[in-house]
């Protein structure tokens, strides 16, 4: 049994959530601005803490992809502060009335937007999630309890201290944002069963973490996405566009969950496209897994297999497979995709429309890189994760995804 006092964190969060759900927008925005300011003021402290985590990660053999996710810079800290300021400018979701009507009995029924309550976050590697999640939860009226990975503990502590220092200058209790500082599995397991305190649990990380949370949690879970993302180059593609999109989708940030992991190419255009792609991708250090007949056009690449088609590499690796036609490509994506981000490159309008209808992923692209799946890019000010579920929230999760609703009914002595 874990000895870390999670109950205290839970009680603090529950009490704070009652305050946050009725707090006026200007008070929340003032708190967010204070958080952004103290992040900037604590830049040196945060970077020093992050340096410890990065060195420990290297000593413990973390992959280059995980080190990239873990590493902070002055520019990234400024980006975190600016991300909070973008959230300030967004409308307060709690100020909106979703719907209102008078029924046949003369009752005024109003559907009102409300916070979820207390949100638990379990995440890996990326310390910027500490800032992003805190800001999104506060703006939407939720208290949050954060549990980052051991690899980022010093960074997360430094960021939390800065954010709480900012809150101390405002009307928002610092307990609106809390961090579990014990990163043991025992404490994580206990956290997943805090039904009395948590209203929702959001895991953000690799496939192993998300599966573990989904299996162990007794708290409602919103699964954020493992990204086995596909890009299909159709026979009617503009090959120049296809080239640029592939290079961006694989190389711009290989450790991101929206980076392309499997490339599907119509057999009829493979000879015109793949040799050039192979040369340039390999020059950038990409390990290409040529599955089946793709090896004919990727002579310098490794020979791939069925297992490669299931992988979320999060690194400079790419599976490539040839397909005979559109239907085979769609069938492949249906079978192998994790439902995160999948795209097509084609100049055929009809095929593009079919693809958007046929593919049931959270985000579906036509003639664009999968790398755009991002809450900030979508105009949400940031994201707490990218959901691949179909219940409640899907795709990049911004403020709206952190709310629910209730009905208020006003009468005048009505009885039934």
* CATH code of the domain containing 274: 3.40.309.10
Alpha carbon separation from 361 to 30, 189, 297 (Å, rounded): 37, 30, 29
Helix pair angle (153-167, 43-59), 10° resolution: 160
Tell me how far apart the alpha carbons of residues 323 and 312 are, in angstroms, rounded to a whole number: 20
DSSP run (H or E) holding 108 = strand 108-115
The token pair that represents 22 in the structure block: 């009725």
pLDDT at position 3, please?
63
CA torsion, points 291, 68, 344, 229, in degrees to nearest 10? 60
Q: Which residue has the tokens 């902070």?
A: 72
Clarify whether residues 58 and 30 are in a common domain. Answer: yes
Clarify whether residues 406 and 341 are in a common domain. Answer: no
From 274, 124, 145, select the one nearest 212 (Cα to Cα).
Answer: 124
pLDDT at position 271, please?
97
Residue 382 within a domain: no
Residue 66 within a domain: yes
Tell me how far apart the alpha carbons of residues 371 and 254 are, in angstroms, rounded to a whole number: 10
The token pair that represents 257 in the structure block: 């969950």
- Bridge partners, 408 (sequence order): 110
Clarify whether residues 237 and 191 are in a common domain. Answer: no
Residue 1 within a domain: no
Strands 108-115 and 403-410: antiparallel
Clarify whether residues 11 and 134 are in a common domain. Answer: yes
pLDDT at position 209, please?
87
The predicted model scores a pTM of 0.89
Clarify whether residues 236 and 218 are in a common domain. Answer: no
Q: Which residues of the chain have pLDDT under 70?
A: 1-3
Tell me how far apart the alpha carbons of residues 146 and 384 are, in angstroms, rounded to a whole number: 12
- Sign of the C-alpha dihedral computed for residues 295, 301, 306 and 310 taken in this order: negative
Give me the number of domains the chain comprises. Answer: 2
Clarify whether residues 178 and 96 are in a common domain. Answer: yes
Clarify whether residues 111 and 215 are in a common domain. Answer: yes
Residue 168 within a domain: yes
Phi then psi dihedrals of residue 62, to 5 deg: -60, 145
- Bridge partners, 147 (sequence order): 122
Clarify whether residues 405 and 365 are in a common domain. Answer: no
CA 321 to chain centroid, in Å, comes to: 27
CATH of residue 103's domain is 3.40.605.10
State the greatest distance between any 2 C-alpha atoms of the chain, in Å, as a whole number: 81
Clarify whether residues 155 and 81 are in a common domain. Answer: yes
Residue 332 within a domain: yes
Q: What is the DSSP letter of 371?
A: G
| DSSP-H helix ranges across 42-180 | 43-59, 64-70, 74-89, 128-139, 153-167
Clarify whether residues 209 and 251 are in a common domain. Answer: no
Residue 181 within a domain: yes
Residue 416 within a domain: no
Cβ partners under 8 Å of residue 349, min gap 6: none
Clarify whether residues 153 and 219 are in a common domain. Answer: yes
- Segment 93-106, tens digit of pLDDT: 998 889 999 999 99
Alpha carbon separation from 287 to 8, 62, 138, 255 (Å, rounded): 48, 19, 42, 14
pLDDT at position 179, please?
98
Residue 213 within a domain: yes
Tell me how far apart the alpha carbons of residues 216 and 204 are, in angstroms, rounded to a whole number: 15
- Segment 349-403, tens digit of pLDDT: 999 999 999 999 999 999 999 999 998 899 888 888 899 888 788 899 999 999 9
Hey, is 122 helix, strand or coil?
strand
Clarify whether residues 194 and 105 are in a common domain. Answer: yes
The whole domain housing 251 covers: 229-376
């Amino acid at each position: 049994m874990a000895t870390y006092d999670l109950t205290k964190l839970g009680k603090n969060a529950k009490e704070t959530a009652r305050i946050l759900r009725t707090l006026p927008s200007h008070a929340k925005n003032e708190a967010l601005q204070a958080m952004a300011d103290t992040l900037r003021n604590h830049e040196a402290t945060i970077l020093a803490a992050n340096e410890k985590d990065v060195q420990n990660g290297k000593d413990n053999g973390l992959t280059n992809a995980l080190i990239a996710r873990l590493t902070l810079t002055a520019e990234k800290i400024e980006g975190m502060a600016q991300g909070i300021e973008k959230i300030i400018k967004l409308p307060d979701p709690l100020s909106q009335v979703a719907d209102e009507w008078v029924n046949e009995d003369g009752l005024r029924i109003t559907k009102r937007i409300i916070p979820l309550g207390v949100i638990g976050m379990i995440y890996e590697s990326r310390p910027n999630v500490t800032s992003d999640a805190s800001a999104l939860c506060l703006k939407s009226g939720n208290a949050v309890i954060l549990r980052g990975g051991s690899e980022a503990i010093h960074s997360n502590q430094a960021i939390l201290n800065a954010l709480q220092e900012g809150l101390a200058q405002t009307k928002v209790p610092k307990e609106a944002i809390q961090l579990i500082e014990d990163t043991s599995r025992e404490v994580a397991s206990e956290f997943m069963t805090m039904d009395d305190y948590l209203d929702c649990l959001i895991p953000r990380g690799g496939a192993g973490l998300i599966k573990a949370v989904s299996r162990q949690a007794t708290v409602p879970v919103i699964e954020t996405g493992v990204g086995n993302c596909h890009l299909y180059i159709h026979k009617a593609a503009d090959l120049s566009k296809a080239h640029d999109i592939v290079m961006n989708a694989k190389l711009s940030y290989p450790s991101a969950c929206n980076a392309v992991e499997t490339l599907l190419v119509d057999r009829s255009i493979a000879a015109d496209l793949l040799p050039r792609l192979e040369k340039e991708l390999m020059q950038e250090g990409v390990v290409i897994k040529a599955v089946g007949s793709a090896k004919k056009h990727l002579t310098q690449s490794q020979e791939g297999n069925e297992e490669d088609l299931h992988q979320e590499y999060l690194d400079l690796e790419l599976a490539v497979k040839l397909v005979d036609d559109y239907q085979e490509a769609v069938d492949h994506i249906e079978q192998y995709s994790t439902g995160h981000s999948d795209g097509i490159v084609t100049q055929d309008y009809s095929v593009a429309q079919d693809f958007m209808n046929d593919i049931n992923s959270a985000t579906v692209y036509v003639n664009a890189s999968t790398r755009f799946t991002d809450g900030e890019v979508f105009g949400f000010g940031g994201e707490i994760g990218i959901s691949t579920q179909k219940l409640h929230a899907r795709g990049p999760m911004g403020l709206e995804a952190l709310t629910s609703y209730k009905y208020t009914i006003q009468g005048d002595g009505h009885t039934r």
